[in-house]
Structure formats: structure tokens, C-alpha cells
Amino acid sequence: MNNQFVHANWRPSPSRFLDILDDPFFRSVVVLQDVLTRVTTAFWAEQQVRAIHLPITTGSVSSPMGLGSDSLPVRVEMFGEPTYLADSMQFMLEYGCRLAPAGTWYLMPSFRGEDSDETHLNQFFHSEAELPGGLNEIIVAVEGYARRLAEEVLASCADDVIAASGSTAHIEQMASLTEFPRITFDEAVAHLGRRPAMVVDHGGWRTLTREGEQRLMEEISPILWVTHYDHLSVPFYQAYGDAAQRTALNADLLFGPGEVVGCGERHVDGEQTRAALVHHQVPEQDYEWYVRMKDAKPMRTAGFGLGVERWLMWVLGQKDIRELQIAPRLNGLTVAP
């Protein structure tokens, strides 16, 4: 897809905030942000899934520095007390499910400590939900949500998409799918042939690279679920996918820049969660409240997170996610406004 807009780039400058005011591309970004917010609210309201208001600080990061973690938490000090800026509030969404039986959702910022690049931001928006049920139920929910977003984009701002990317064919394809294609992680590795540029073997677990994700989308389907990753490559809280505890009940939805949605089923009770913490070499004391919640109120839930700016990348056919920020935020750099 070739961009039709010529617009200010993402790099912060003293005048960027003024330069983009008359830029049609960034006006389209605002339109699409509004579309996503309106559709998200309506979609979950129809299913009686409750919006929940949560803080942006947390003592329990959902991407801990475990064996397979590729995320760095952002630690800050507030009034002499150490805390973290939320990388996700998935744990609190699980807590919310004990208060709202049909599930909970939110749309809020997330913070990451690792460097930004073409597909990764230090501060981004997350559309997340946690629902009762298992992996298949959350996959079906994500597909319905993604289709609804695609339908509304076509109905309300197709011209913006055409101006930015030259076509709405990719949006039309998602809107038309009744089920999204699925393969397992093992099948993905077999297809890619264990090439180091596409599959990284860490000696106890494997991960896909961005190049590997792109190859799968090119050769299998441009919209593709990859399920049942190696358990040690995902956070401890994902439920096990087999008796040998090798795989996880999780799935990533690939389209556009690669992984746009990550989802998974959670451990039901405290005993299962404690065993997974030991397996992943994560200290239990860091998650004491979470384990106690599962002791007191065992519940089978599954949830997902959609990266809003990655979704925008796909909609508008952009190659650099940093183009999708109205107000850039880069770690270690003060940017105004």
C-alpha cells in the first residue's frame, strides 16, 4: 500500500505540534481514534461487559522479568514509594470479573521501558477485556470485535483510508471473514523451517521474530491466529495447553505490522498460579494479592489486549508506528506538548 498523504514525520521537533494541525493525515488519525472508542463502547455494552476505571499505577506488572519476557516495566517513585506505570491492567480486569459476571473492559494507556522502533511504542493505548470462559471464547470475541471495527471504518471513513493507503481491500477482507484462519505455534515453526531470522530458539522456548510473522502472513493468510506458544515464552499467568506443561492456552492475532492482538486463558486457582510462578522463576511475593484472589475466588477467564496504534498502522497502511502518535512520547526525552 502506497501512502497518498505527504505528512509531517514522527520525529519530535519544537514546531511539530503546529505543523500537524493542517495535516489531513493526522485529522484521519483523530477520526479513527474516535471510531475505535465509539465501537468499543457499543460492542461491549451490547454484551453487558462492564467498563472499569483503573489507575495507571500498579505494584504487579503483567509482563514480569521472567524467562520469556521481552518487556521492561517502567518504575517510578511517588511520594517516596516505588511503583510502576501500568504495562497492562489485565490483573485488575480479572479482579473485575469477580464483580461483573459478564466481564470487564477498558481503553487506557500502557507504558513500556524498552526502546521504541517501527512497530513498538514506549507509551501506547490498549483496548483490553477479560471475559468468563476459555481460549476459544476469547478468540471468538476478538474476531467479532475486529469485524465490527472494520465494518465501521468502511461505513464512516473509507475515504480517509483510501487517501492514506490507496485501498480499503484489507479492511473489506477482515469485515467479510466469518472465522479467522488459525495455526499452532508448532505448525508455524514447521512452516518457517526454524530459520534463525524467523524463529529464535532460546534453549527452552522459542519465539517468532517480526520477519517470521510477516512471512506467515505472506504465505498462509494476511489475517492469522497463531496459538499455543511455548509456555516459557509467555507470562506465567497463561494457562497450560497440555499435560506436559510445554504449551500455553494463548494466541496472537497477526495482521498488518504483525501481532496486533494477544490473548490467553488464565489459571483458574491459586494452586495452579503458584506452580506457574515457580516454573517461570518469578517470585510469588510480587503477586501475593493475585494468588490470594484466585484462592478466594477461583474463576475460569480469558482476556485480550489490542494495541490501538498497531491497529491504526494496519488501517492506514503505515510502516512506522511512531507516525500514529498525535503527541509523541519517547523514553528519556521530554516532548512538548
Can you read off the three cell numbers belonging to residue 223? 489475517
pLDDT by position in tens, the chain (length 337)? 444 555 667 888 889 999 999 999 999 999 999 999 999 999 999 999 999 999 999 988 887 765 666 678 999 999 999 999 999 999 999 999 999 999 999 999 999 999 999 999 999 999 999 999 999 999 999 999 999 999 999 999 999 999 999 999 999 999 999 999 999 999 999 999 978 899 999 999 999 999 999 999 999 999 999 999 999 999 999 999 999 999 999 999 999 999 999 999 999 999 999 999 999 999 999 899 999 999 999 999 999 999 999 999 999 999 999 999 999 998 988 888 8
Treating both helix axes as pointing N-terminal to C-terminal, what angle do 270-279 and 288-296 enclose, rounded to 10 degrees? 150
Q: For 20, list phi and psi in degrees, rounded to 5.
A: -85, -5
Can you read off the three cell numbers belonging to residue 6? 505527504
- Per the CB < 8 A criterion, the answer to whether 306 and 127 are in contact is yes
Domain boundaries, the chain: 16-324
- Per the CB < 8 A criterion, the answer to whether 25 and 164 are in contact is yes
Closest CA to 310 of 298, 323, 301: 323
Closest CA to 24 of 148, 162, 134: 162
pLDDT, residue 5, reads 55
Q: Which residues of 252-274 are buried (b: 16+ CB within 10 A; e: fewer)?
A: bbbbbbbbbbbbbbbbebbebbb
Report the largest interatomic distance among the alpha carbons of the chain, rounded to a whole angstrom.
Answer: 58
pLDDT, residue 3, reads 47
Tell me the C-alpha distance between 120 and 313, whole Å: 11
Question: Does the domain at residues 16-324 carry the CATH identifier 3.30.930.10?
Answer: yes
State the virtual CA torsion across 287, 292, 294, 298 in degrees, nearest 10.
180
pLDDT, residue 66, reads 59
Treating both helix axes as pointing N-terminal to C-terminal, what angle do 135-165 and 308-316 enclose, rounded to 10 degrees? 40
DSSP 8-state assignment for residue 286: G
